[in-house]
């Protein structure tokens, strides 16, 4: 067990086997190479990707297939090798979510920088895709859902 300090969740005891190694870190955070996954809430599709050695660093992540069913990440052999994966089915793919303060209905996902995790080896890396049909600010909610949420929030006392 490892004891970690987090800004959002306080002090946590983490099983060593739960730690995910990200050699080279994430984009913008090359020195943070160890993380854990924390489910946001029991029924929520969102997770926190919490840095082990930096209490204030945690990213909201989600499975992109939940809102973009045709999302596909090319996984060349060098990616499989770097994650010690024999097959692509050993890998889980997540995207980082940005939630503007006070405006959760406008949250977006970075489809150009997916996080690929080998569930067996606990190795991960963030890829940088050169895909013209993906965005780093893909809306999670449709325009219709955003308007519905805004109307509901506007009419609350």
Task: Evaluate whether 146 touches 139 at the Cβ level (below 8 Å).
Answer: yes
Q: Which of 141, 133, 79 is nearest to 109 (CA)?
A: 141
Burial class (CB within 10 angstroms; exposed 0-12, middle 13-18, buried 19+) of 153: exposed
Spatial separation of the C-alpha atoms in residues 72 and 64, rounded to whole Å: 9
Q: How high is the pLDDT of residue 133?
A: 87
Confidence of residue 131 (pLDDT cuts 50, 70, 90): confident
- pLDDT higher than threshold 90 for residue 110: yes
Domain 2-154 has CATH 2.60.40.10: no
Sketch the domain layout of the chain as residue ranges: 2-154
* Helix ranges, the chain (H): 77-82, 143-154
Q: Which of 35, 61, 32 is nearest to 46 (CA)?
A: 61
* Helix ranges, 4-142 (H): 77-82
Residues whose CB falls within 8 Å of the CB of residue 83, separated by 6 or more in sequence, listed in order = 90, 91, 116, 117, 118, 121, 123, 124, 125
CA angle, 107 then 59 then 149, to 5°: 20
Q: Which of 42-51, 90-99, 101-110, 147-156 has the lowest mean pLDDT?
A: 147-156
Token pair for residue 63?
């499975």
- The percent of residues above 70 in pLDDT, for the chain, comes to 90
């Amino acid at each position: 067990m490892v004891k970690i300090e987090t800004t959002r969740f306080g002090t946590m005891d983490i099983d060593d086997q739960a730690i995910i190694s990200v050699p080279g870190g994430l984009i913008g955070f090359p020195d943070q190479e160890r993380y854990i996954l924390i489910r946001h809430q029991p029924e929520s599709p969102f997770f926190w990707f919490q840095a082990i050695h930096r209490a204030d660093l945690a990213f909201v992540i989600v499975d992109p297939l939940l809102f973009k069913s045709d999302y596909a990440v090319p996984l060349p052999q060098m990616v499989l090798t770097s994650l010690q994966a024999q097959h692509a089915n050993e890998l889980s793919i997540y995207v980082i979510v940005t939630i503007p303060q006070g405006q959760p209905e406008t949250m977006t996902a970075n489809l150009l920088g997916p996080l690929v995790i080998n569930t067996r080896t606990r190795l991960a890396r963030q890829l940088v895709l050169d895909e013209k049909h993906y965005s780093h600010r893909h809306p999670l909610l449709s325009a219709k859902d955003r308007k519905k949420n805004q109307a509901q929030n506007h009419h609350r006392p």
